[in-house]
Structure 1
Amino acid sequence: MFKNMINWETGKWINQPLSVRQEGNHLKVVPEKGRDFWKKTLYGFEFEDGAALLADWQTDNAVEVSFLLTSFTELYDQAGILLYQGPEQWIKAGIEINDGVPQLSAVVTDGYSDWSLTAVPEWKGEEVTIRASIMKDAVIIRARTENHGWRTIRVARFPYNSGNQAGPFTCSPTRDGLEVTFTRWVFTEADQDLHVNPLM
């Protein structure tokens, strides 16, 4: 099975975090309080200043980002994967704290953002992997942990054939001190079927 492990140094930050350091194969990132990705819907504000480490994404491959769900405690603490076409078209998907519990979260933006959530309190303390794979004009977003198998969390329109970037992101809109440990960033074989899980 094709897997291209991405070195952290390969990516470029579109917004620099407060601090970043590499420990072995892991990348520890502290986002700056008050920064996020969101566009207009409900709140009226627009943010595109969250920390995201991106590389060019050839969309005939899937992309996966893994991180430890060990430090998330406060409202809107979040990390995962950002799929980026430009300031009007992007998707962030990962784990976000809401109502006091970890939630699988996806924000799909095309001029305006929408937001979907599914509570996963049983994932607390585990290593989470978020995966995105293009099929026709859509992206299939899936998530798993080392103890819980793949689940599909979103199918969203993402019809862009070129100029795409993808990689890990983290935001901490409400507090100082969040540190996220990213463990893995890979490009791998794309999904072949919506109803067939990729290999672990």
Structure 2
Amino acid sequence: MNIDGYQFKWINNEPVKWSVENPNIITVITENNTDFWKDTWYGFNRFTGHVFGCNVSEIIKQQQQQQRQQQQQQQECKSESLEVDDISFTFQLKVNAEFSYLYDQAGVIVIADESHWIKAGIEYNDDHPCMGSVLTLGKSDWATAIYQGNAKEYHMRITMINKCLRVQYSSDGGKTWPLLRLSPFEVDSTNIRVGLYCCTPERQGLQVIFSNLQLSIPAFIQEFT
């Protein structure tokens, strides 16, 4: 599936039931025992959630190669292409779902490997939809709070630059984007993947509709605000 010129596919646990209505609307029906977690408090490790995304490290490598070829053709070597360590992107989407069972969840995810990743979005906990994030750097760290907006429809955005992550959400249709989390992400950048995710650890059958997917990967980074 092509999104903003980048090829997306199932990169973790493709569900049995899913569909694409047009190039930017994906409907997923979750399966049971799907989750992402590593060790903290509960003592178990899970890497079974559904993830539809792309490998931004590979895209940047391709950009580097194209830039080098252009420089050679133009005999200009002053500009430096983006290094693989300088993974930079912004990914955002809209989520529609009705969360009702413990730990129902959906949102955005960035994965380096099974021990280094972040997920962010709505997760049903303590009888309420909660907005939060789980950052895993060896072990998982969960930060969450009761969501005050309409949990049936919300937007998520995640940005990576200079080995840092910024997570934002929107409860007003993408007009404003409050900060949810800002964190370092000092990981091996050779296999960074970003995409949408959903999980239902306690049941199956949650329908999640993802839309308005947007991915921006700049060829050169000069300034970030």
TM-score normalised by the shorter chain: which range applies?
0.7 to 0.9
Give the superposition deviation at 1:147.
Answer: 6.8
SS in 2 for 1:121: coil
Counterpart amino acid of residue 197 in structure 2: F
Identity %: 27
Find 1:141's aligned residue among 141, 162, 167: 167
Contact persistence 2:155–2:174 (CA under 8 A): no
Q: CA RMSD in A?
A: 2.1
Give the counterpart of 2:224 among 173, 192, 196. 192
Match of 2:19 in 1: 21
Which amino acid in structure 2 is aligned with residue 144 of structure 1? S
How far does the alpha carbon of each residue in 1:150-170 deviate from its partner, in whole angstroms, 9 at most, with x for none?
A: 111111221344321000000
Query: C-alpha distance in 1, partners of 2:35/2:148?
Result: 23
TM-score (norm 2): 0.75
Conserved 8 A contact 2:88-2:162:
no
Aligned pairs for 1:7-86 (under 5 A) are 10-24=8-22, 25-57=24-56, 58=60, 59-68=87-96, 70-86=97-113
The residue type equivalent to 2:204 in the other structure is: D
Structure 1 position 65, deviation (Å): 2.6
Matched, 1:132 2:158: yes
Q: Provide the TM-score with structure 1 as the length reference.
A: 0.84
In 2, are the aligned partners of 1:50 and 1:170 still within 8 Å (CA)? Answer: yes
What does 1:104-115 correspond to in 2, within 5 Å? 104-115=131-142
- Cα distance in 2 for partners of 1:100, 1:148 equals 28
Q: What is the count of residue pairs matched by the alignment?
A: 187
Unaligned runs of 5+ in 2: 61-86
For each residue in 1:40-84, what CA deviation from the matched residue of structure 2 results, as whole angstroms up to 9, or x when unmatched?
00011000011111201253221113211x321111110011100
**Secondary structure of residue in 2 paired with 1:162:** helix
> What is the one-letter code of the residue matched to 2:159?
S
Distance 1:20 1:78 in 2: 16
Matched residues in 2 for 1:73 and 1:166: separation?
A: 26
Match of 1:99 in 2: 126
CA offsets, 1:117-175, max 9 Å, x none?
Answer: 0211322332x221111233310111113176211111122134432100000000112
Q: Distance in 1 between matches of 2:156 and 2:125?
A: 18
Contact 1:5/1:184 (CA < 8 Å) preserved in 2? no
> Cα gap change, 1:36/1:6 in structure 2, threshold over 3 Å: closer, same or farther?
farther
Tell me the secondary structure at the aligned position of residue 42 of structure 1.
Answer: coil
**Alpha-carbon distance in 2 for matches of 1:75, 1:189:** 35
Q: Which 5+ residue runs of structure 1 have no aligned equivalent?
A: 194-200
Query: Cα distance, 1:18 vs. partner?
Result: 3.3
Q: Rg bigger for which structure?
A: 2
The answer on whether the counterparts of 2:89 and 2:161 sit within 8 Å (CA) in structure 1 is no
CA drift at 1:116: 0.5
User: Relative to total residues, which structure has the larger strand share, 1 or 2?
Assistant: 1
